Amino acid sequence: MSTPHIAPHIVLRDVPPRARFALEQAGVHPLLAGLLAARGVRSAEDLDDDLRHMLPPDSLRGAAEAGVLLADAIDAGRRICIVADYDCDGATACALALRGLALLGAPRAQLAYVVPDRAVHGYGLTPAIVDLALQQRPALLVTVDNGIASLAGVAHARAHGLQVLVTDHHLPALEADAVVLPDANVIVNPNQPGCNFASKALAGVGVMFYVLLATRAVLRQRGRFDSAPQPRLDALLDLVALGTVADVVRLDANNRRLVAQGLKRIRQGRMQPGVAALFAVARREPARASAFDFGFALGPRINAAGRLADMTLGIECLSTDDLGRATELAAQLDAINRERREVEAGMREQAELTLAGLALDAAPPAVSLYDPGFHEGVVGIVAGRVKDSLHRPTFVFARGADGHLKGSGRSIPGFHLRDALDLVSKRQPGLLQRFGGHAMAAGATIDASGFEIFAAAFEQVAREGLDAATLTRTLCTDGPLALQWFNAETVALLDAQVWGQGFEAPVFCDEVQVLQQRLVADKHLKLRLQLVGGAPRDAIWFGHVDPLPDRVRLAYRLSLDHWNGQARVQMVVEAVQ
């Protein structure tokens, strides 16, 4: 049995001819020129990933003030406690803060961190987390990847005499349709009112990186580096790249530069011991590192700790300088990730049973799922899987340790999930005990008796906000791939680029004849295909078991299949129409 699956409508990306011509004239590979032009690149200058083209730190509201706050704490030897989050963005941001502040002169003994337990503390800087942090005797709390909506937590910290620096990238809280900010000493968030920073898609780890740059600038002005080398913060860009890709933020030009620089360093063997250890347990080669490795190999292993165990494991792995210790922690994270897969598989099976009788032509505009056996740490992943299959905004709930239902949602383009939750909260006062997030992902906590009410209210908001066009799943492709580009050199060319959310990896589309097909491991369809005018090609459709007709229109990406010491180009099927 499998989840009902809405097949996508395959469409072709538009390629502006002038932009493609300009890129070709600038020396960009002809195939790559068309792919980049279709994704908004207009000149070769847009492809220059040198750090001097980064957006300047002084354009990020609050960064300069944060630099002063941190520089003062370092100069005075005050204890700093990082308040992390339990996902990969939060873990990398925490490790980045610990390493960066140490590079800037803060003694390690004066640095500490706390991270919430998903099942016990919930998300963000809650009063309970402040109480936990107080045990570290800090003078300054620094949130990473959280805090912008933590009104009570910040107030609790300030009431205990602590300074608070909030670094975050999520949307702030709303009260009576007005933005409400926490009473922190300084807030750094590109999505706070009045911030003109051009990259609103900066991840939490990216925000912290900019704060470190601003802190270094303050210390430099104070003469800290007059008689000592200035710390090289770019040595930490592997962490920035990993957290940015794993958090699935939009890879705008600034984020692509950060990720590209991190990848360059990893390919050169310059990375934190924990990052190297994670590449090893994932059986990936750092010399050929790609954004795909961050999103599908390293990121999930770190996230697994926050889902099923304690994100302290992930943070310790990324912050230790001991390669042996990092290797041991990476092995633990790998084992937890295997457990996560088993838990997820069971939840997906239960979701499939619930959705098995759903008629696709009558699918509701939004889906809400709950089962007493669901695990709180994996609801977001399952919501994403169901959303991908049905192309519907989806919320999945599990019962938390406190008895309340903790939900995680994933959305589709054209439906802002956080705004939808805000509307649900207005129509059903008191239903949502807390909620937050952004357009494509959000979380909510409701009373154990409120699931049916939530499901109905969420579906009604979606019914009003979604039309037939938005509910039609589309897959943008780059059209047919010329036969001359079916080679390993093309795969290497494409793999060397930075692709990701909002700058999707190339997907091609061709009419093919199916020559052979068979199942591999009872769950993947192995194919032998004939393109018009070309030689037979190998292809695989992961997670698909139904046979194909003799002739189909195929959407696919290129990859190298390594087997018995040989590397062969294969087509990885994304969809069939």
Domains and CATH numbers, the chain: 9-48+474-576 (2.40.50.460), 58-336 (3.90.1640.30), 357-465 (3.10.310.30)
Residue 361 has pLDDT above 80, yes or no: no
The answer to whether 254 and 202 are in contact (CB under 8 A) is yes
Work out the average pLDDT over 303-318.
Answer: 95
Band (249; pLDDT cuts 50, 70, 90): very high
Band (38; pLDDT cuts 50, 70, 90): very high
The answer to whether 115 and 81 are in contact (CB under 8 A) is no
Work out the average pLDDT over 201-228.
Answer: 96
pTM reported for the whole predicted model: 0.93
Residue 359 has pLDDT above 60, yes or no: no
Q: What is the pLDDT of residue 360?
A: 57
Work out the average pLDDT over 427-432.
Answer: 95
- Phi and psi at residue 326, to the nearest 5°: -60, -40
Q: What is the pLDDT of residue 199?
A: 96
Band (484; pLDDT cuts 50, 70, 90): very high
Q: What is the pLDDT of residue 118?
A: 77
Tokens of 228: 């000592």
Q: Which residues contact 241 (CB under 8 A, 6 or more apart)?
A: 258, 259, 260, 261, 262, 263, 266, 291, 294
The answer to whether 368 and 451 are in contact (CB under 8 A) is yes
Q: What is the pLDDT of residue 438?
A: 83
Residue 490 has pLDDT above 50, yes or no: yes
Residue 1 has pLDDT above 50, yes or no: no
Q: What is the pLDDT of residue 354?
A: 82
pLDDT digit string, tens, across residues 517-544: 999 988 899 999 998 888 899 999 998 8
Work out the average pLDDT over 45-65.
Answer: 95
Tokens of 358: 């759903």
Q: What is the pLDDT of residue 363?
A: 76
> How many of the other CB atoms lie within 10 Å of CB of 48?
12
Work out the average pLDDT over 492-511.
Answer: 94
DSSP 3-state assignment of 434?
Answer: strand
SS3 per-residue string spanning 236-249: HHHHHHHHHHHCCC
Question: What is the rounded distance in angstroms from the CA atom of residue 508 to the CA atom of residue 575?
Answer: 10
Q: What is the pLDDT of residue 436?
A: 85
Q: What kind and span of H or E run contains 299?
A: helix 299-308
Specify the higher pLDDT residue, 457 or 568: 457
Give the whole-number percent of the chain exceeding pLDDT 70. 98
Mean residue pLDDT of the chain comes to 94
Give the whole-number percent of the chain exceeding pLDDT 90. 84
**Helix axis angle, 312-319 relative to 88-103, nearest 10°?**
40
Band (564; pLDDT cuts 50, 70, 90): confident
Specify the higher pLDDT residue, 177 or 113: 113
Specify the higher pLDDT residue, 280 or 120: 280
Q: What is the pLDDT of residue 173?
A: 87
pLDDT digit string, tens, across residues 130-152: 999 999 999 999 999 999 999 99
Q: Which residues contact 127 (CB under 8 A, 6 or more apart)?
A: 152, 153, 156
Work out the average pLDDT over 204-218.
Answer: 98
Tokens of 165: 């620096």
Work out the average pLDDT over 298-323.
Answer: 96
The answer to whether 132 and 114 are in contact (CB under 8 A) is yes
Dihedral of the CA atoms 409, 441, 542, 339 (nearest 10)? Answer: -70
Dihedral of the CA atoms 367, 372, 374, 377 (nearest 10)? Answer: 100
Task: Report the length, in residues, of the chain.
Answer: 577
Q: What is the pLDDT of residue 535?
A: 85
DSSP 3-state assignment of 11?
Answer: strand
Sign (positive or negative) of CA dihedral 517, 518, 521, 524: positive
Tokens of 76: 């005075």
Question: What is the rounded distance in angstroms from the CA atom of residue 212 to the CA atom of residue 341?
Answer: 36
The answer to whether 528 and 515 are in contact (CB under 8 A) is yes
Tokens of 229: 């080398």
Strand pairing partners for 575? 555
Residue 358 has pLDDT above 80, yes or no: no
Measured between its terminal Cα atoms, the distance across the chain in Å is: 22
Q: What kind and span of H or E run contains 327?
A: helix 323-355
Q: What is the pLDDT of residue 362?
A: 63
Q: What is the pLDDT of residue 269?
A: 97
The answer to whether 84 and 145 are in contact (CB under 8 A) is yes
